[in-house]
Chains A and B, each alone.
Chain A
């Protein structure tokens, strides 16, 4: 092979690897950025303020929604997620480390006014009790997002009270 062909081939091969690496890495890196911005650590819920132009944690936020988020790491065991369901659209969604949305439940899909879930990592071997609703995360790390729709600004104070009842913490802490 002529010298210059070898160099051009090496350049193209390396650029292809870089290209794929960047495309695959972007969602994971942005997930880490959001976790970092949330502050306060993993396996804890963070209740967001009503969205304004100053809200810069997540791109394209909806001003119609109240957000709470829980960045998680299931390395040390399952996580228990609980919430009260308001009289408006409400959902809990879970995102894997690569940002895939692997689970969502909304207010119309639950019986009663409470949601109680146990989040476990795939392959964890966790044995749930009969009463537990288990959600399996394809990755140990990820993020749970709570969305509450503000149909009318006059409902905001009441919805924020309900928003703050949502929780997410290691299952062990509940059993102590």
Chain B
């Protein structure tokens, strides 16, 4: 009986340790831990057979069926420029300029990695739909409250993230993803 209890305890503890450490390992690798560029992160191994088991698992959880870097480069921001997590209870401004790719877009996702429900059914802006300044730069409000101009709703609670997709990025972009000029994300205020 004592042996049975000990064996059972070993199985339960080992299972908890194994699953818990796997969860932490995948979360630590995340979607964009490999290359940092301001608030943004990307993994160059995403979608390729070069991806390690942790990157592959992280992508499966948070970006299943991602393409390789030459086809599409995915940058994701879970934090602002100061490294603080993006929160739906705060307002942010995303500011940037043209990016050298065939097509690019920003999309906001909730904590569950799905689009944020909102009355306007507005989930993203792309290189054509953004309202621009005369110098072609742009500003996007990331907020739960309605704004004039470019505005992406961030939901009413919890954390959110922004994915910047670059379809067919220029060679200079996918070869130097850490130095290419990407938009800033600045916190304006919190409630």
Contacts and interface: CB of A to CB of B under 8 A. Distances in A.
Interface of A: 7, 10-24, 26-27, 30-31, 34, 51-56, 58-64, 89, 91, 93, 95, 98-102, 104, 106, 108, 138, 143, 145, 149, 151-152
B113 A59 contact: yes
A23 B114 contact: no
Contact of B60 (A13, A19, A27): A27
B128 A15 contact: no
B60 A26 contact: yes
B61 A30 contact: yes
6 contacts: A23-B54, A31-B60, A52-B115, A62-B165, A99-B60, A152-B128
Nearest to B117: A53
Contacts of B15: 14-15, 18
Interface residues of B, number: 54
A22 B64 contact: no
Given A31-B64, A98-B56, 20 more contacts: A14-B14, A15-B18, A19-B22, A22-B18, A22-B22, A23-B53, A23-B57, A31-B60, A58-B64, A59-B64, A60-B163, A62-B124, A63-B123, A64-B124, A89-B102, A99-B59, A100-B49, A100-B51, A145-B65, A151-B128
B95 interface: no
B71 A19 contact: no
A14 to B, nearest CB: 4
Contacts of B71: 91, 93, 104, 106
Interface in B1-40: 6, 10-11, 13-19, 21-23, 25-26
B187 to A, nearest CB: 23
B18 A53 contact: no
Q: Which has the most chain A C-beta neighbours within 10 Å: B14, B53, B128?
A: B14
